[in-house]
Structure 1
Amino acid sequence: MAISFDNALGIHEKAVGVRIQRAEILANNIANSDTPNYKARDIDFESVLQGVQGGQQPLQMSRTSDEHSTGLISADYASELMYRIPSQPSVDGNTVDVQAEMARYTENAIDYQASFQFLNNKFKGLTSAIKGE
């Protein structure tokens, strides 16, 4: 009997991947907190995960040259990125609120750890089942 990892691991495998993508986006926002006219971006984790879980892949972006940069995040998720509405506009046009971005990054890191721990427990259970323990 073959093991289906999709069924065995559940949604946690996909959740870890989406959390990694979101961490890159949030880190990019923090890194550009002093860049004039930089617009903070984020993804809606739940809608992206539902799309991935439902078998829908994000819209595929095409590159006309292999030398084109894909940026920090996968180009496949670029269509899912949304601009953040600032709570207090900046004079230079930057919409990054560093404290809010740091809080979101920390929350995302905690959620990543939880999903990773769930995956780890699933693998331990599979290993025990294979060993017959």
Structure 2
Amino acid sequence: MAISFDKAFGILPQSLQIRAQNAEVISANIANADTPGYKAKGMDFKAALAQAASKQQAGMTRTHEKHLDVRTEMNNSVDFRIPNQPDTGDGNTVDVQMERNLYLENSLHYQASIRFLDSKIKGLRKAITGGKG
């Protein structure tokens, strides 16, 4: 009986990919905190995950380098963030404290997902080896 990794892991690998992309978006905001006119961007994680789930249910998996790349399609969930602070005069909308908090929160979710994936892998390993090793 073959093991279906798609069924075993579910949406978890896509979730990790979206979290990694979200970290890049937040990092770009922090890096451009002093850039005049820079507009902070944000990612709608729920929308990106829903989009990934619908693609997974539709059976769209990238099995060849020339197939669709889901990561580029997830960019639809990245948009400009509505500023929480008034304009400081240079047109920059990055709130560094908020970005750091978002980065920390995203990192915690990423680490939790990694641990969950690790437990899934250990469970599969146990099922394959019959509980040995």
Same topology, TM > 0.5: yes
Is 1:50 the counterpart of 2:50? The answer is: yes
2:97 is matched with: 99
RMSD: 1.2
How many residue pairs match? The answer is 116
Q: Unpaired segments of 5 or more residues in structure 2? A: 57-70
Task: Kindly state the Cα deviation for residue 79 of structure 1 after the two structures are TM-superposed.
Answer: 2.3
Match of 1:55, SS? helix
Match of 2:55, SS? coil
Alignment counterpart, residue 113 of structure 2, candidates 105, 115, 121: 115
Task: Kindly state the Cα deviation for residue 76 of structure 1 after the two structures are TM-superposed.
Answer: 3.1
Structure with greater helix share of residues: 2
Whole-angstrom CA distance in 2 between matches of 1:78 and 1:18: 10
Task: Kindly state the Cα deviation for residue 77 of structure 1 after the two structures are TM-superposed.
Answer: 3.0
4+ long deviations beyond 6 Å: none
* Residues 8-51 of structure 1, C-alpha deviations (whole Å, 9 max, x = no match): 01221111110000000000000000000000001100110011
Identity %: 48
TM-score by length of 1: 0.83
Match of 1:107, SS? helix
Task: Kindly state the Cα deviation for residue 2 of structure 1 after the two structures are TM-superposed.
Answer: 1.3
Q: Unpaired segments of 5 or more residues in structure 1? A: 57-73
